[in-house]
A and B are shown apart, each in its own frame.
Chain A
């Protein structure tokens, strides 16, 4: 039986999310920058980022996740995802 794959670290997840944003916008986003402070991502982009994350990591975010202040940055979102996988 093949050994289980190493789980991604929060940093690796953040890099994956950054790559998704870069592909979409053509720009690099500071992973610590709040979505609300970014001119690159609007509410529609963030919704699609959430959908992408749920699909990629096979999870469903809870209302508690949305209420978590970490949820509002790429780095924080990566930590939330890491805690759920």
Chain B
């Protein structure tokens, strides 16, 4: 069992954010918690437990952690390129800071179901700032990429995707979304197909992703329509500590 600092989330919440990994219900969690409190003085700690380990979920609940998300890990084998309906938008890799700025504006309105958006104990503007930081990080990372769906005539960005190349012809799909004013017009489908086609063009044969079970749109699209296969489901729990305890 270990507690790892999450730099982007820490910056956004303006206090240390930790992720507990390899949770062990048989270990002395109180002692473990006291150790990470003394070392990091966190404001927010999360832990992801496979949903079939309900006893571990209950154990964390006894220590003040609360369920904040049911997360699904799924994968798709990229066998063939999909014909995308003709739309007046282009899907291209973001290569300049100006293009990134346009994507970051879209990011701010794209998320509603993530564990930071739905958390009643967090300020409402945290999620957008968090995802902007992650997208910017993807843009600067050599093994990650940011793509956008945009109107080539006006330059308007309507949707985006980010992913990481993890080797063995596999990619981890990180973030994606459609600007609020273009939502549920079919552009999320185009955005998703375009990303998978691009990955296939680059030689990727398998893509893995995570999404919230509360995101019915993505649930229906990826599992119901595109044939993603569920690999594992998780309960994500979090505990928020008073800032008086934090650094």
Contacts and interface: CB of A to CB of B under 8 A. Distances in A.
Interface string B185-201: 11111100000000000
A41 B154 CA distance: 29
Given A60-B86, A62-B88, A66-B88, A46 B186 contact: yes
B160 interface: no
A72 B154 contact: no
B89 interface: yes
B221 A43 contact: yes
A51 interface: yes
Q: Is the interface of B mostly helix, strand, loop or mixed?
A: loop
Given A46-B186, A60-B86, A66 B221 contact: no
A42 B181 contact: no
Contacts of A72: 184-185
Nearest to B189: A47
A42 B156 contact: no
Contact of B185 (A54, A60, A66): A66
B196 to A, nearest CB: 14
B182 A66 contact: yes
A47 B88 contact: no
Given A42-B217, A62-B88, A50 B153 contact: no
A42 B153 contact: no
Interface residues of B, number: 24
Q: Sort chain A's interface into a size bin.
A: 20 to 34
A46 B153 contact: no
A43 B182 contact: no
A43 B154 contact: no
Given A63-B151, A72-B184, A47 B85 contact: yes
A60 B220 CA distance: 27
Interface string A24-65: 000000000011100001111011111100100000111100
Tell me which of B88, B89, B181, B186 has the highest count of chain A C-beta atoms within 10 A of its own C-beta. B186
A36 to B, nearest CB: 4
B183 interface: yes
Contact of A63 (B89, B184, B190, B225): B89
Contacts of A34: 184
A51 B85 contact: yes
A43 B156 contact: no
A51 B185 CA distance: 11
A35 B153 contact: no
Contacts of B221: 42-44
A43 B88 contact: no
Interface of B: 85-89, 151, 153-154, 156, 158, 181-190, 217, 220-221, 225
9 contacts: A42-B220, A43-B189, A44-B220, A46-B184, A62-B88, A66-B88, A66-B158, A66-B182, A72-B185
